[in-house]
Amino acid sequence: MTLIDGKALSATIKEEIAAEVEKIKASGNKVPHLAAVLVGEDPASAVYVRNKVRSCEKVGFKSTLLKRPADITEEEVLELVHKLNDDDDIDGFIVQLPLPKHINEERITLAIDPRKDVDGFHPVNVGRMALGLPCYLPATPFGILTMLERYGIETSGKHAVVIGRSNIVGTPMSILLSRKSKTGNCTVTLTHSRTKDLPAFAREADIIIAAIGIPEFVKGDMVKEGAVVIDVGINRVEAPDRPRGYKLVGDVAFDEVAPKCSFITPVPGGVGPMTVTSLLLNTLKANRNEVYR
Ligand code: NAD
């Protein structure tokens, strides 16, 4: 069994990005600039955004954090989005989700200029992804494809079972794995909360992508010998023996599943770090106008 070390791979890719930034500087061009909008006080969102900003600094990007109170109006958020769309210094930006209930997330996502949508959530980018056209890939699936590629995991002709159909992970993952591409060409089964006998599908899988948000949902008897298991879940469970009183576990029962796998990602230290790094890669693409010429 090989542990896919997302933390180490992410550090390697960040070094590669930092080297690119040095080249950009040396040639006198503008360094990549990512802006992040954080609305309200959601602690998890604050941690995610802080990580993104810190990662920008680490690789030499410019970053701007725009914090707004939870009672900001939808119109004010839209105004901010329009401002960022028009700001030539900003290559890409994200609006951290979830937004407070009174703000329509769909309206905000639609207002983001697809050329600056480095989260890859705008329907234009999602459509381009589905058609195999240049686009910003959503960060988590992008990070997973990068892990498969860098660990030399063959996907062509394999049966991939994706568990969970969210717009940000499961659905794009199923599309990307099925496309005719270097990390695609899989036969994909997309399973979800209405799937009958999900374990039967999982047991047939050469590759499992678990993205449901249920702690240790994928058990040892749901995985065949030699499978590749990618665990996207990040779940807090009580752990009185830990200093913080909780620990993070994935959607996969790691101890039971790992011995059967050819490759598996841990939680933490697997998919999570790769997600932030993928956002940096998208921002670099935006800076170079690689997607929309
Ligand atoms: P979500 O909560 O939006 O959707 C969950 C999906 O799981 C739904 O499609 C639902 O149909 C499916 N589901 C729920 N219960 C099920 C069941 N019993 N059987 C089968 N399917 C079921 O999910 P999300 O936003 O994709 O997040 C999933 C998990 O991944 C969460 O733990 C989240 O924290 C984590 N996550 C991690 C990263 C990362 O960078 N590592 C990024 C995004 C999400």
How confident is the model over 162-202, as pLDDT tens digits?
999 999 999 999 999 999 999 999 999 999 999 999 999 99
- Return d(Cα 269, Cα 6) in angstroms, integer: 5
In a domain, 15, yes or no: no
In a domain, 283, yes or no: no
For the record, the structure tokens of 85 come out as 């769309």
Instruction: Assign residue 59 the CATH number of its domain.
Output: 3.40.50.10860
Q: State whether residue 28 is helix, strand or coil.
A: coil
In a domain, 21, yes or no: no
Say if CB 255 and CB 293 are below 8 A apart.
no
Q: So what's the pLDDT on residue 111? A: 98
pLDDT digits (tens, 9 = 90+) for 20-62: 999 999 999 999 999 999 999 998 899 999 999 999 999 999 9
Q: Is 196 left (phi over 0), alpha (psi -120 to 50) or beta?
A: beta
265 and 144 in a common domain: yes
End-to-end CA distance of the chain: 43
Q: What is the 163 CA–ligand 1 centroid distance (Å)?
A: 8
Q: What is the 237 CA–ligand 1 centroid distance (Å)?
A: 16
Residues recognised as catalytic: 52, 96, 119
pLDDT band of residue 104 (cuts 50, 70, 90) is very high
Instruction: Assign residue 229 the CATH number of its domain.
Output: 3.40.50.720
In a domain, 1, yes or no: no
In a domain, 289, yes or no: no
From the list 72, 115, 77, 74, the residue with the least C-alpha distance to 93 is 115
153 and 86 in a common domain: no
pLDDT digits (tens, 9 = 90+) for 211-230: 999 999 999 999 999 999 99
Residues 6+ apart with CB under 8 A from 67: 38, 39
Q: Kindly give the residue spans of alpha helices, DSSP state H, lying in 90-240.
A: 105-111, 123-131, 139-150, 170-178, 198-203
Average pLDDT in the chain: 97
Phi and psi at 87, nearest 5°, equal -85, 110
Encoded amino acid at 94, one letter: I
Structural domain for 187, as ranges: 139-272
pTM of the model: 0.97
Ligand 1: which of 42, 169, 196 to mutate, most ligand atoms within 8 Å of CB? 169
State the total domains in the chain. 2
Q: Is it the case that residue 270 has pLDDT exceeding 90? A: yes
Q: So what's the pLDDT on residue 40? A: 96
Domain end among 113, 129, 154: 113
Q: What number does the ligand 1 atom closest to the CA of 213 have? A: 32
> Measuring from atom 12 of ligand 1, which residue has the nearest CA?
164
Q: What is the 69 CA–ligand 1 centroid distance (Å)?
A: 27
Q: Is it the case that residue 293 has pLDDT exceeding 90? A: no
Q: What number does the ligand 1 atom closest to the CA of 143 have? A: 40
Burial class (CB within 10 angstroms; exposed 0-12, middle 13-18, buried 19+) of 151: middle
Q: What is the 221 CA–ligand 1 centroid distance (Å)?
A: 21
264 and 149 in a common domain: yes
Burial class (CB within 10 angstroms; exposed 0-12, middle 13-18, buried 19+) of 232: buried
